[in-house]
Structure 1
Amino acid sequence: MLENDNKHILIVEDDLEICRLLDMFLRSKGYQVSLSNSGTEGLADIIRLEPDLVVLDIMMPGMNGIEVCQKSRETYTGPIIMLTACSEEISEISALDTGADGYLHKPLRPHILLSHIEALLRRESRSKKNDNELNHTGGLTIDTLKRQVKCNDEEVILTGAEYEMLEYLAKQAGTIVSRDECYRALKGIEFDGLDRALDMRLSSLRKKIKDDIAPYQIIKTIRCKGYLFVKQ
């Protein structure tokens, strides 16, 4: 199990029984846990508490999880796992497109949630241990000390997952990285061939760094091989 150093998990969920069970389970694993029972309350707590990770339900009355995720990403860069009782692909795409790092379907299995939490926290921990350096390509600058990205001298606000993908590819500039390698490095688990999280993350990342019109100038997709961060 990951040495969690008493990491703080915020659960935003309107089902009080699910909250109670997850609270007990995660505390038994050594985590600090805070609970929010509505979207409005959850958004305020994300900003106020700055937790290490957020578990966020999509279907809530009033402000739903998609809206909370989207608004929180204006300032919050930590991992967000979204929960959904809906099996429709559009819900998964919406979750990832608004900045979630992953999603799980209900009914929720606590040990599966725990494995996703630990994988995302490992990713965050590895990033903080990386050597400090600057990478440039065209008008893009990546400051790994500050975890800050600028495009033509304007700061680009990325989610934690988007930043991790950009930094990972940039550190291997000039080398083709396969989807499997990228998936293992960023999620800490094997690629199952079905998860579309990387595709959605790359699409969102390209939009933010103004590289979303083919032929791509910064991050190229090499057919049947993987991704290439252009070395300049």
Structure 2
Amino acid sequence: MATGSTILMISCDLALVEQIETHMEANGFKTVTLDSGEDPQSWIGENSPATVIVDATMPGMNGFFVCREIRKKYDGPILFLNGESDDLDELLAFETGADDYIARPLHPRIMAARINALLKRNRAAGQPSTDPVAIGDLIVDPARREAYLKDSPLRLTTTQFDLLWHLANHTGTVVSRDDLNRVLYKTDYNGIDRSIDVYISRIRRKLGDDPTEPIYLKTVRGVGYIFTAPN
């Protein structure tokens, strides 16, 4: 769990660490730094940091592997810092568990702002809403665990409702298969299981979504799904 007021930076960029430390201490956070020779999983397990920053430019370290290993036991926000802007690297970072991706060169104030945004989103996620969500003609009511399309009940299974609520509650945001897998099964996506795709297909059918041109539930190839409000 991410419950503390500490930011863990896995980086050897001392200048960047000092600048982030200065910015974040002003917001009440302490910054701790580990290098490539230290075990982040053990430290995270003992200290529950508010967020983790993985600097993939560290020599002798595979940032994607580190990110994946951290994500196995840490549900807080992970920021992935890379040496260049590369679409494939960015996609891989998200697939291995990162919540945000920043490429160098960067401005420390921008990075601090991105950290604050991650922390804000994480705090909001820890306080699940019980208010109904309305998207177009669809209403999803988490308190009653019911969903209606044009005032007609959708008659969803428990699993289908859990998926629909999570996606509808993140309307306009791409939700990865890894995230959905953790919602349903409390574990990371293994890259093979297609059960979530089957559930999505059945939800689309009940929403009346054309799978080739869906209105509500769209596929983001190679990443996951995004729930959108109809025009």
Q: Judge same fold: TM > 0.5, yes or no.
A: yes
Q: Shorter-chain TM-score: what band? A: 0.5 to 0.7
**Equivalent of 1:95 in 89, 93, 96:** 93
> Given residue 121 of structure 1, which amino acid in structure 2 is its aligned partner?
L
Q: What's the secondary structure of 1:78's corresponding residue?
A: coil
**Equivalent of 1:120 in 76, 97, 118:** 118
Deviations 1:99-126 (A, max 9, x none): 1001011122122222222222222222
Q: Is contact 1:40-1:68 (8 Å) kept?
A: no
User: Structure 1 residues 203, 130: CA separation in 2 closer, same or farther (over 3 Å shift)?
Assistant: closer
Deviations 1:25-75 (A, max 9, x none): 221332121111226433332233211111111232333221111111111
- What is the distance in 2 between the residues matched to 1:33 and 1:107? 21
**Equivalent of 1:63 in 61, 64, 72:** 61
Deviations 1:196-223 (A, max 9, x none): xx2xx43444566522359723477783
Tell me what 2:213 maps to: 223
User: Structure 1 residues 127, 206: CA separation in 2 closer, same or farther (over 3 Å shift)?
Assistant: closer
- What is the distance in 2 between the residues matched to 1:90 and 1:138? 36
Q: Is contact 1:58-1:84 (8 Å) kept?
A: yes
- What is the distance in 2 between the residues matched to 1:139 and 1:211? 13
Query: Any unmatched runs of 5+ in structure 2?
Result: 131-141, 147-155, 185-194, 219-226
**Of 88-97 and 45-54, the range deviating more from structure 2:** 45-54
Tell me what 2:26 maps to: 28
User: Structure 1 residues 63, 138: CA separation in 2 closer, same or farther (over 3 Å shift)?
Assistant: farther
**Equivalent of 2:72 in 54, 71, 74:** 74
Q: What's the secondary structure of 1:216's corresponding residue?
A: helix
User: Structure 1 residues 13, 204: CA separation in 2 closer, same or farther (over 3 Å shift)?
Assistant: same
Deviations 1:82-109 (A, max 9, x none): 0011222111011000010010111221
User: Structure 1 residues 85, 168: CA separation in 2 closer, same or farther (over 3 Å shift)?
Assistant: same
1:140 maps to 2:159: yes
Q: What's the secondary structure of 1:69's corresponding residue?
A: helix
Q: TM-score scaled by structure 2?
A: 0.63
Tell me which structure has the larger Cα radius of gyration.
Answer: 2
Q: What's the secondary structure of 1:108's corresponding residue?
A: coil
Q: Percent identity?
A: 27
User: Structure 1 residues 103, 13: CA separation in 2 closer, same or farther (over 3 Å shift)?
Assistant: same
Tell me what 1:211 maps to: 196
How far did 1:81 drift? 0.7
**Structure 1 runs (4+) greater than 6 angstroms displaced:** 219-222
Q: What's the secondary structure of 1:29's corresponding residue?
A: coil
Q: TM-score scaled by structure 1?
A: 0.62
Q: Is contact 1:39-1:65 (8 Å) kept?
A: no
- Report the aligned-residue RMSD: 3.5
User: Structure 1 residues 52, 222: CA separation in 2 closer, same or farther (over 3 Å shift)?
Assistant: farther
What count of residue pairs does the alignment treat as equivalent?
Answer: 180
- What is the distance in 1 between the residues matched to 2:79 and 2:164? 20
Q: What's the secondary structure of 1:77's corresponding residue?
A: coil
1:85 maps to 2:59: no
- What is the distance in 1 between the residues matched to 2:42 and 2:48? 10
